[in-house]
Structure 1
Amino acid sequence: MARAMFDYTKTILKKVSFDVNLFTKEVIKALNRLLPHEIDELRLWIESLLKNQPELRPCLIYLNR
């Protein structure tokens, strides 16, 4: 079940990646829903996404807690 939530979160983040504010809001929601090891995996996934979309970088402040 938890893996399904992680996959769902990635799907949502891909869909809202056009807007920095929406993306950041969804990252914050994900931090409340996901397990600690999934948050680490999400951080890595977002860092790879930033190579193509550097404008999303502001969301990293929430992931570096």
Structure 2
Amino acid sequence: MLDYVKSILSKVSFDKRLFEKELIKAIALLVEKELYSLKDWCYRNFSSKYNDVLNKHFSGI
């Protein structure tokens, strides 16, 4: 499931609103272990573009 979520986030990364929407879905869908991996991956790939969104949704993780 993690690979699927990464694929979706990569595909919608051109639009901040879509990216945030899909990130919220992904966080609700994944188990804790996968969330840590997703968080690391997101910050490595999207922090320059969507750091505010990532901080907002990963603050409790």
- Does TM-score exceed 0.5, indicating one fold? yes
Given that residues 24 and 58 in structure 1 are in contact (C-alpha distance below 8 angstroms), is that contact kept between their aligned partners in structure 2? no
Aligned to 1:63: 58
Flag as ranges the 4+ runs of structure 1 deviating above 6 A.
none
Q: Which has the higher Rg, Structure 1 or Structure 2?
A: 1
1:1-58 Cα distance to aligned partner (Å, 9 max, x none) = xxxx11100000000000111101111000110000101100000011035xx22112
Q: Give the TM-score of the pair, scaled to structure 2.
A: 0.87
Give aligned pairs, total: 59
Which protein, 1 or 2, shows the higher relative CO under an 8 Å CA cutoff with sep ≥ 6? Answer: 1
Aligned to 2:4: 8
The unaligned stretches of length 5 or more in structure 1 are none
Distance in structure 2 (CA, Å) of the matches to 1:44 and 1:37:
11
- Residue 48 of structure 1 aligns to a residue whose secondary structure is helix
The unaligned stretches of length 5 or more in structure 2 are none
Calculate the aligned-residue CA RMSD, in Å.
Answer: 1.1
Correspondence 1:37 to 2:42: no
Distance in structure 1 (CA, Å) of the matches to 2:41 and 2:49:
15
